[in-house]
């Protein structure tokens, strides 16, 4: 059976200087077995989801730039958005990649319990500095690289609207950066729009989360492809 590779999306915006320089930003994330850095392509469902997002964004405030993880599933989505929104190129950034899952990559979780118990147990650890055996990242490593990347993008585009296409684990890290005391992680939906405002004073605000109106208006069955992102990437509150 064909795997459902759809994505989730996030946006950011800078109103005008007096109101703090903020920015909008977009992320997309996929479903199915533990992919991590595996370079999985979109399938037809994912392309339809990307087209629905692109159509919506093309009818909103003009986009100044499109950034993306360099993994194919994110990059193809970003290219669909850039084309529809008349942005000439997609800027690739490896720091927007999904968390490297080490020995878990390519396994469904019930398989990993038996075949890679060391990696599986490491992925469940509450320690944010716990790396996953097989070359995998810790949550701290993921958090530091992707939040630093987004901050740099924001500082390059003060006063502009920017789309950034990335992955579920990255979204969770960005959520933690913007809302570190929020007790419960919000659900990540495939092809949803999540709006962050970034300030030049190092302030991050979540303005919208999990917006899927563009899917509801087109074809709600798109949502059936959603698995809520990379379930190995979790953060304790505080």
Give residue 165's pLDDT. 92
Instruction: Tell which wins on pLDDT, 35 or 119.
Output: 119
Largest CA distance in the chain: 57
Distance between CA atoms of 114 and 95, rounded to whole angstroms?
Answer: 31
Average pLDDT rounded to a whole number, residues 226-235: 40
Distances (CA, A) of 86 to 15, 65, 77, 91: 21, 10, 14, 14
Extract the tokens encoding 60: 């909103």
Place of tokens 């903020």: 22
Whether residue 19 is predicted with pLDDT greater than 50 in this model: the reply is: no
Distance between CA atoms of 9 and 172, rounded to whole angstroms?
Answer: 12
Give residue 35's pLDDT. 56
The strand order across the sheet containing 204-211 reads: 90-92, 65-68, 161-165, 9-13, 193-198, 204-211
Across the chain, mean pLDDT equals 77
pLDDT digits (tens, 9 = 90+) for 113-161: 888 899 989 989 999 999 999 999 999 999 999 999 999 999 999 889 9
Query: How sure is the predictor about 44, in pLDDT bands with cuts at 50, 70 and 90?
Result: confident
Whether residue 5 is predicted with pLDDT greater than 70 in this model: the reply is: no
Distance between CA atoms of 58 and 77, rounded to whole angstroms?
Answer: 14
Q: Which of 7-21, 159-173, 189-203 has the highest mean pLDDT?
A: 159-173
Average pLDDT rounded to a whole number, residues 220-237: 40
Whether residue 99 is predicted with pLDDT greater than 70 in this model: the reply is: yes
Give residue 105's pLDDT. 84
């Amino acid at each position: 059976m064909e795997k459902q590779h759809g994505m989730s999306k996030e946006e950011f915006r800078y109103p005008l200087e007096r109101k703090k320089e903020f920015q909008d930003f977009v992320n997309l994330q996929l479903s199915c077995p533990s992919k991590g850095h595996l370079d999985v392509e979109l399938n037809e469902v994912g392309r339809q989801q990307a087209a629905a997002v692109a159509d919506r964004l093309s009818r909103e405030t003009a986009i100044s730039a499109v950034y993306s993880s360099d993994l194919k599933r994110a990059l193809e989505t970003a290219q669909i958005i850039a084309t529809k929104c008349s942005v000439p190129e997609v800027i690739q950034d490896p720091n927007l990649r999904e968390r490297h899952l080490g020995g878990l990559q390519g396994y469904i979780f019930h398989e990993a319990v038996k075949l890679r118990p060391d990696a599986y147990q490491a992925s469940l650890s509450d320690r944010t500095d716990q790396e996953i055996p097989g070359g995998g990242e810790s949550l701290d490593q993921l958090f530091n690289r992707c939040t630093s990347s987004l901050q740099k993008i924001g500082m390059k585009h003060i006063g502009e609207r920017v789309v950034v296409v990335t992955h579920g684990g990255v979204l969770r890290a960005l959520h933690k950066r913007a809302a570190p005391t929020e007790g419960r992680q919000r659900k990540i939906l495939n092809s949803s729009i999540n709006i962050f405002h970034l300030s030049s004073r190092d302030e991050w605000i979540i303005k919208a989360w999990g917006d899927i109106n563009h899917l509801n208006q087109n074809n709600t069955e798109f949502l059936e492809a959603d698995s809520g992102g990379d379930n190995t990437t979790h953060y304790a509150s505080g």
